[in-house]
Amino acid sequence: MQLYHHLFSPSARRVLMAADHLGVALDLVEINLASPDDRRRLEELNANSRIPVLVDGALVLWESCAIMQYLADRTPGQTVYPQDWAARADVNRWMFWTCQHFAPALGVFGWENMMKKMVTGEDADPVELARGARDIARAAAVLDKHLATRRWLVGEAVTLADYAAVAPLMYKEQARLPLDDYPHLLAWFARVRELPAWQRTTPAW
Ligand SMILES: N[C@@H](CCC(=O)N[C@@H](CS)C(=O)NCC(=O)O)C(=O)O
């Protein structure tokens, strides 16, 4: 299986963490999003022009959370994506929530504080940052409250839900994510950072 990715992409990283945890070997194909040739190659696989994309024979699969679930489903005996229906629904819930609410909110800060200057030369827009801060506060409060009484998002051990949700935090410092008021979220992030799957997928900056 080939994974079209870049080590600096949080969306690709959640797939790399899942693959590492599952012991699935992937043939990594790096996509430089700034290269027109790489973009063309990417768009042949994903009309959205986004990484990651998994190619497994005839299957071309985009959307990081769908790829994570596919990798788990094809791994016999895995426990990171529970077989129990209720537990699995709970994992799915946090993965959808991440893609719909948490990651886009954090992405505003990633773009404004980290990427925008590099890509466009423009400064951060305070109106956009205020909007991002509002959305982050709303989502982070939900996560923090949930984690006040738990070590992991679902059940007693790490699942795909944790790997999905934690990926955009890889730029916590660089993007100046406003998360200081969420101690349970930060404690969970510290726990994830201890995991081999996090450590083995941390890029050398
Ligand atoms: N919902 C998608 C998001 C993928 C995504 O936004 N990837 C970024 C890198 S983290 C990308 O390829 N951006 C290129 C672009 O926006 O042109 C997923 O989870 O796979």
Supply the DSSP string of 116-165, one letter for each residue. HHHHH-PPPPHHHHHHHHHHHHHHHHHHHHHHTT-SSSSTTS--HHHHHH
29: which 2 tokens?
A: 């194909």
User: For residues 76, 79, 81 and 85, what is the CA-based torsion angle, rounded to 10 degrees?
Assistant: 100
Q: Which ligand 1 atom minimizes the distance to the CA of 10? A: 10
Q: How far apart are CA 54 and CA 111, in angstroms?
A: 25
**Structure confidence at residue 184 (pLDDT):** 98
Q: Best of 50, 53, 119, 160 to mutate for ligand 1, by most ligand atoms within 8 A of CB?
A: 50
The model's confidence at residue 36, banded by pLDDT at 50, 70 and 90, is: very high
Distances (CA, A) of 158 to 77, 80, 88: 15, 7, 13
Residue 145 has pLDDT above 90, yes or no: yes
The predicted structure's pLDDT at residue 160? 98
Round to whole Å and give the CA distance between 50 and 31.
Answer: 10
**Over residues 42-57, mean pLDDT:** 98
- Domains of the chain plus CATH, in order, are 2-73 (3.40.30.10), 85-198 (1.20.1050.10)
Distance (angstroms) between ligand 1 centre and the Cα of 155 equals 29
pLDDT of 82-114, one tens digit each? 999 999 999 999 999 999 999 999 999 999 999
Helix/strand/coil for 5: strand
Residue 61 pLDDT? 98
pLDDT at 204 over 90: no
Q: Is the pLDDT of residue 23 over 90?
A: yes
Alpha helices in 74-110 (DSSP H): 85-97, 103-110
Percent of the chain predicted with pLDDT > 90? 98
Mean pLDDT of 74-88: 97
CA–CA distance, 87 with 144 (Å, rounded to integer) = 20
How far is Cα 34 from Cα 15, in angstroms, rounded to an integer? 21
For the segment 56-70, the average pLDDT, to the nearest whole number, is 98
Cα Rg, the chain, nearest whole Å: 17
Residue nearest atom 12 of ligand 1, based on CA coordinates? 50
